[in-house]
Amino acid sequence: MRELPGVGVGRGTASGPVLRMAAPLGEPDQTPLQGDAASAKAAVGEALASVATDLAKRGVAAGGDAQAVLEAQALMAQDPSVLDDVHSRIDQGTNPERAVFEAFKAFQDILSGIGGYMGERAADLSDVAQRIIARLRGVSAPGVPESETPFILVAHDLAPADTALLDLEKVLALVTRDGGPTSHTAILARSKGITAIVGVVDADSLADGDVVIVDSAAGVVVTDPTAEQVAEAEATRAERLKARTAPLTAGALKDGHAVPLLANLGSPSDAAAAVAAGAEGVGLFRTEFLFLDAPYAPDVASQKASYVELLAAFPGKKVVVRALDAGADKPLPFLTDKGEENPALGRRGLRALRHHEEILRDQLTALAQADAETEADLWVMAPMVADVEETQYFVDIARELGIRTPGVMAEIPSLALLAEQVLEVADFVSIGTNDLTQYTLAADRMLGSVASYQDPWHPAVLRLVAQLGSAGAASGKGVGICGEAASDPLLAVVLVGLGATTLSMTPAALADVRAELLNHTLDEARAMAEAAVAAPSAAAARAAVAAVSSSL
């Protein structure tokens, strides 16, 4: 028996036989162009259009986060600069398959060189190229293998198009060699509630037919398990499934201490599914969907219509909207500076909005108008706020434009260190644990090579959360969690023990978190939190909390 470590997604457990993803298509040969260039270009154009259409259809079928990912891939297939490069290579005598391969490879190299979020997208571009080449060859694109029986899918990585449409009756869990906690595989697995472990360095050692246990809570793949271990894993899986089908109740600890469970959403169309999953409101509404594909910022009227649709789905409930957060992973031509060497530390979030205040004013105006026409309890927060001065700037302009409850996100350690002063100005603070971890540990959250540092269990991160929680309690103001840390059920209990008043997460995690909260009282949560912050490392914090939990 061996344990292969990786980055777990969620807390699911699964056991079963391995089935590996088929190998990618071979690299096209360099045989010179046969026939005329015009026909070759036409064939490439037809292949690109077909692939783009197929990806878009898959997106519509998948919905949610998957739809946004697949639509982005469809746009890659139609990128005019890449098509121009393909045409140029064909004009120079390169065959169509090779021209597509070389043009997309050149684009991939550019993205990989940029790193961060754009580097992660290089893998998506490779998948698009493979699909186009397969179309030119008249063969099926590499994809998820078919099986009559359930299996554990193992791959170097999964393309968004494959992850989005997995048959969850057959695919028990995912194991990938590549990827980090914020790779598309992890994001989509989390949003669909799929048990997964990414970044398993030794995944290539797994062969078809090997029986393994995938324990995403522990972040390990157990090879050659005993019959007893398999039975235990199956019992854990059954217990988790039972909890996920339990009646929907308001989030609370065992002693009745209320912990509202909210949803992280990226589009108004996701609201109905969140409500069905038991979301008591929205803790993070990402407004980027309105801006990402636009050559310029949308006007007040178009923004208002989307906000009205969102707010109308949550009458009488809290809806926390984040002002436009563009920058490192979401560059916008009308907002983001070009050529920043390290955009994660550049002009993004509130910094970018302050530099283009008219965009911020339009957004806040649209939100205030939507709030006036609906019955939700609208809260609005600014992203990437560093200190009290920036807090005051946002709160002042928000109140001026009619926002009743303005707040800020705690993503930069400096804001946590100034928490008491910040909460004298802001009405609330919401902790973005993804970025807070990134900046505390100096580890790009989009970079797989430092994925091990991107762990919100780290005591340094938890101590910052504790400081924010203490300031919130002293001021009588809310301190929410809207990062992925809230999706980890045991960590969610710790966060409540540190002073978090609400938890917001992907809707797929709501059932697991609700069930875990009901196992602990507030005093127990505080004891678990105390053990976590006293630990010397993230792994030690997990172990310490597990020990405290089992002793209670």
Residue from 184, 356, 458, 520 carrying the catalytic annotation: 184
Cα–Cα dist 98/390, whole Å: 51
Residues 383 and 308 in one domain: yes
b/e code 169-178 from CB counts within 10 Å (16+ = b): ebbbbbbbbb
Cα of 298 vs its chain's centroid, Å:
24
User: Does the global pTM surpass 0.85?
Assistant: no
Extract the tokens encoding 256: 């009745």
Cα–Cα dist 31/36, whole Å: 14
Domain termination site, one of 109, 137, 165: 137
Domain of residue 386 covers 259-551
Amino acid identity for residue 346 in this structure: G
Query: Residue 185: what pLDDT?
Result: 77
Cα–Cα dist 368/416, whole Å: 28
Amino acid identity for residue 30 in this structure: Q
- Give the total number of structural domains in the chain: 3
Residues 149 and 79 in one domain: no
Query: Residue 316: what pLDDT?
Result: 96
Residues 511 and 399 in one domain: yes
Residue from 156, 356, 458, 482 carrying the catalytic annotation: 482
Domain termination site, one of 117, 137, 157: 137
482 is catalytic: yes
Domain termination site, one of 229, 248, 278: 229
Extract the tokens encoding 317: 């409930």
Residues 396 and 320 in one domain: yes
Residues 148 and 132 in one domain: no
Residues 194 and 94 in one domain: no
Residues 204 and 291 in one domain: no
Query: Residue 178: what pLDDT?
Result: 83
Residues 301 and 326 in one domain: yes
Domain CATH code at residue 55: 1.10.274.10
Residues 203 and 298 in one domain: no
Query: Residue 116: what pLDDT?
Result: 56
Domain CATH code at residue 188: 3.50.30.10
Closest C-alpha among 358, 541, 365 to residue 461: 541
Bridge partners of residue 483, in order along the sequence: none
Q: Is residue 116 a part of any domain in this protein?
A: yes
Which helix or strand (DSSP H or E) is residue 250 part of? none
257 is catalytic: no
Query: Residue 77: what pLDDT?
Result: 77
What distances in angstroms separate CA 32 from CA 40, 101, 139, 180, 477, one per listed residue? 12, 14, 21, 39, 69
Asked if 359 and 401 count as a contact pair (C-beta separation under 8 A), the reply is no
Query: Residue 152: what pLDDT?
Result: 96
Residues 129 and 171 in one domain: no
Amino acid identity for residue 542 in this structure: R
Question: Would you give per-residue pLDDT tens digits along the chain (552 residues)?
Answer: 899 998 788 778 999 999 998 767 788 888 888 888 999 999 999 998 888 888 888 777 767 666 777 777 777 777 788 888 899 999 999 999 999 999 888 888 876 666 555 555 666 777 788 888 988 988 777 777 768 899 999 988 887 767 766 888 899 999 999 876 656 677 778 777 889 998 899 999 999 999 999 998 888 999 999 999 999 999 988 887 777 777 889 999 999 999 999 999 988 999 999 999 999 999 999 998 888 767 778 899 999 999 999 999 999 999 999 999 875 555 676 676 676 777 778 888 999 999 999 999 999 999 999 999 999 999 999 999 999 999 999 999 999 999 999 999 999 999 999 999 999 999 999 999 989 999 999 988 766 567 678 889 999 999 999 999 999 999 999 999 998 889 888 999 999 999 999 999 989 889 889 989 999 999 999 999 999 999 999 989 988 998 998 888
Report the SS3 class of residue 199.
Answer: coil
Residues 349 and 334 in one domain: yes
- What number of CA atoms fall less than 13 Å from residue 476's CA on the CB side? 0
